[in-house]
Amino acid sequence: MTINAPRGTNDILPPDSFKWQYLEEKAKEICRKYNYKEIRTPIFESTDLFIRGIGESTDIVEKEMYTFKDKGGRSITLRPEGTAPVVRSFIENKLYGKALPFKFFYSGPMFRYERPQAGRYRQFHQFGVEVLGSDNPLVDVEIIKLGIDFLKEVGLSDFFVEINSVGCKECRPPYLEKLKNYFSEVNQELCGDCKRRIETNPLRVLDCKVESCQEIIKDAPKITDNLCDKCKDDFEKVKNGLNTLKIEYREVPTLVRGLDYYTNTAFEIKSDELGSQDAIFAGGRYNGLIEEIGDRDIPGVGFALGLERLEILLEGKELDIESGIDIYIVTIGESAEREGFKYLNQLRESGISADKDYFGRSVKSQMKDADRKNSNYTIILGNEELESGQATLRNMKSGEEFSVVLSELSEKVSDLLDN
Contact 108, 307 (CB under 8 A): no
The answer to the question of whether 257 is labelled as a binding residue is: yes
The answer to the question of whether 130 is labelled as a binding residue is: yes
- C-beta of 205 vs 280, nearer to ligand ATP: 280
Q: How far is the CB of 275 from ligand ATP (least distance, A)?
A: 11
- C-beta of 119 vs 202, nearer to ligand ATP: 119
Return d(Cα 255, Cα 258) in angstroms, integer: 10
- C-beta of 52 vs 356, nearer to ligand ATP: 52
Contact 382, 331 (CB under 8 A): yes
The answer to the question of whether 126 is labelled as a binding residue is: yes
Going by C-alpha positions, the residue among 385, 333, 323 that lies closest to residue 355 is 323
Give the CA radius of gyration of the chain: 28
The answer to the question of whether 262 is labelled as a binding residue is: yes
Q: How far is the CB of 334 from ligand ATP (least distance, A)?
A: 51
Contact 290, 300 (CB under 8 A): yes
- C-beta of 304 vs 352, nearer to ligand ATP: 304
Sign of CA dihedral 91, 92, 94, 99: negative
- C-beta of 172 vs 204, nearer to ligand ATP: 204
Residue nearest to ligand ATP (CB): 306
> Long-range CB contacts (< 8 A, 24+ apart) of 345-350?
346/409, 346/410, 347/409, 347/410, 347/413, 349/410, 350/410, 350/411, 350/414
Return d(Cα 342, Cα 321) in angstroms, integer: 29
- C-beta of 241 vs 258, nearer to ligand ATP: 258
Q: How far is the CB of 280 from ligand ATP (least distance, A)?
A: 6
The answer to the question of whether 112 is labelled as a binding residue is: yes
Return d(Cα 138, Cα 239) in angstroms, integer: 9
The answer to the question of whether 378 is labelled as a binding residue is: no
Q: How far is the CB of 357 from ligand ATP (least distance, A)?
A: 40
DSSP 286: -
- C-beta of 162 vs 292, nearer to ligand ATP: 162
- C-beta of 223 vs 409, nearer to ligand ATP: 223
Which helix (H) or strand (E) segment holds residue 125: the answer is strand 123-132
Q: How far is the CB of 252 from ligand ATP (least distance, A)?
A: 14
Q: How far is the CB of 142 from ligand ATP (least distance, A)?
A: 18
Residue type at 152 in one-letter notation: K
The answer to the question of whether 322 is labelled as a binding residue is: no
The answer to the question of whether 81 is labelled as a binding residue is: yes
25, 28, 32, 35: CA torsion to nearest 10: 170
Which helix (H) or strand (E) segment holds residue 164: the answer is strand 160-165
Q: How far is the CB of 6 from ligand ATP (least distance, A)?
A: 14
Residue type at 234 in one-letter notation: D
First to last CA, the chain: 53
Binding site for ligand ATP (CB under 6 A): 81, 112, 114, 119-121, 124, 126, 277, 279-282, 304, 306, 308-309
What are the backbone angles phi and psi of residue 22, rounded to the nearest 5°?
-60, -50
Q: How far is the CB of 107 from ligand ATP (least distance, A)?
A: 12
The answer to the question of whether 200 is labelled as a binding residue is: no
Which helix (H) or strand (E) segment holds residue 106: the answer is strand 102-111
Q: Where are the beta strands (DSSP E) in 227-363?
A: 250-251, 263-270, 279-285, 300-306, 325-331, 354-356
- C-beta of 58 vs 378, nearer to ligand ATP: 58
Q: How far is the CB of 62 from ligand ATP (least distance, A)?
A: 12
Residue ranges of the binding site for L-histidine: 81-83, 112, 126, 130, 257, 261-262
